[in-house]
Structure 1
Amino acid sequence: MRRPVRSRLSRHTPSILAALLTAVVSGTALASSPQVLGWVEKGLILPEQVAVKFKLDTGALTSSMHAENIDRFEKDGDEWVRFTVELEDVDTDEDVRTRLERKMVRDIKVRGAGGAEERPVVLMKVCLGNQMYEEQFSLNDRDKMNYPVLIGRRTLEKVGLVDSSKTFTTEPNCSDA
């Protein structure tokens, strides 16, 4: 006696559905894969459009930016900081110096080999790849460091993955900035 066609199909339905679901999920995962960047990338500090080297540092929690002559002051009852950003633009080899003011978000305590210190944290806009990010940056004199901007994990979780074997995988292009 022959089985009806319907029962043979229904017997394979679970495996067919599983294969289709796997194909759909895999295709979706590939389409929405995060970007992969190198451990050093060129980025822009906005709105000044200064191109500098960013170190993508998975060991740091908070991002950090080079700043000198940091002065705290009060404005409209809030804590603010005034600071100088003096950097070499990697595109033009020109030194760019500007004085900025930002409202403080918070203070952080940073512990290192030389002891602990408090640093102000402000919101700054930067361009990395083709995305603009407004993120928290601690301000610190990074003159003796190789990289004036360090991107920490709080920002990296929005940026993508870091491939430690690569550098300079993308050019910053935030034309809307």
Structure 2
Amino acid sequence: MHRLLKILPLAALLGAPSLPASAEPRIYGWVENGLLLPENLPVKAKLDTGAQTSSLDAKDLRRFERDGEPWVRFTVEVKEQGKNRRVTFERKVVRDVKVRGAGGAERRPVVLMSICIGERRYDEQFSLNNRSKMIYPVLIGRRTLEQMGVVDVSRTYTVQPSCAGDALR
């Protein structure tokens, strides 16, 4: 509770959504377990206040058209119980984002994905990028974090995904 008293004033200063007087905000660690839905693919997600848009490690990106609209097919690979599991996704491209880095600028597709963290499902935009050099395949950005709660950088794995409905088949 003492740590919460330190975090809440900072969250208020940074423009965290206001909460009813009786509600305590959910506090998450900087790394949490999640499930990509509806495929129920377990992923480790880094909660990153430095990123605006969430990002997903996507390999074998193939753009195509469906009914005259841009779509993308991609593969997500995770370790599950010591074995590699590869799942192929197809999603409509909602926009492209231009990312500038040391190697120059590149355009990445952004798609809508559903992820379960704790007891809640989030339907959010994810930019697709090969994150194989990164430790965590999923990065949760501020657009999603503002709906979640407070991030305590001294904690990890504070919740397990347990969404109702299509999250658990």
Structure 1 and Structure 2 fold alike (TM over 0.5)? yes
Which has the higher mean CA deviation after the structures are superposed, 107-116 or 51-60? 107-116
Shift of 1:114: 2.1
Instruction: Say which SS state the counterpart of residue 166 (structure 1) adopts.
Output: coil
Q: Which residue of 1 aligns with 2:61?
A: 70
Q: Which residue of 1 aligns with 2:12?
A: none
Residue of 93, 97, 105 corresponding to 1:116: 105
TM-score relative to the length of structure 2: 0.83
TM-score relative to the length of structure 1: 0.80
Shift of 1:107: 0.2
Q: Which amino acid aligns with 1:68?
A: K
Q: Which residue of 1 aligns with 2:163?
A: 174
Q: Which amino acid aligns with 1:141?
A: N
Q: Which residue of 1 aligns with 2:29?
A: 38
Q: Does the alignment pair 1:103 with 2:92?
A: yes
Instruction: Say which SS state the counterpart of residue 165 (structure 1) adopts.
Output: coil
Shift of 1:84: 1.1
Q: Which amino acid aligns with 1:165?
A: S
Q: Deviations over 1:57-112 (max 9, x none)?
A: 000000000101111111111111111111113xx232111211100010001112
Aligned-pair identity in percent equals: 59
Hey, what's the Cα distance between the residues in 2 that align with 1:28 and 1:158?
A: 15
Task: Specify every segment of 5 or more residues in structure 1 that has no aligned partner in the other structure, as ranges.
Answer: 1-26
Hey, what's the Cα distance between the residues in 2 that align with 1:153 and 1:41?
A: 15
Task: Specify every segment of 5 or more residues in structure 2 that has no aligned partner in the other structure, as ranges.
Answer: 1-18
Residue of 125, 131, 137 corresponding to 1:136: 125
Q: Deviations over 1:2-41 (max 9, x none)?
A: xxxxxxxxxxxxxxxxxxxxxxxxx942x32321100001
Shift of 1:162: 0.5
Q: Which amino acid aligns with 1:131?
A: R
Which has the higher mean CA deviation after the structures are superposed, 55-64 or 113-122? 113-122
Tell which structure's C-alpha radius of gyration is larger. 1
How many residue pairs get aligned? The number is 148
Which has the higher mean CA deviation after the structures are superposed, 154-163 or 92-101? 92-101
Q: Does the alignment pair 1:57 with 2:45?
A: no
Hey, what's the Cα distance between the residues in 2 that align with 1:46 and 1:88?
A: 17
Q: Which residue of 1 aligns with 2:77?
A: 86
Could you list the structure 1 runs, at least 4 aligned residues long, displaced by more than 3 angstroms after superposition.
none
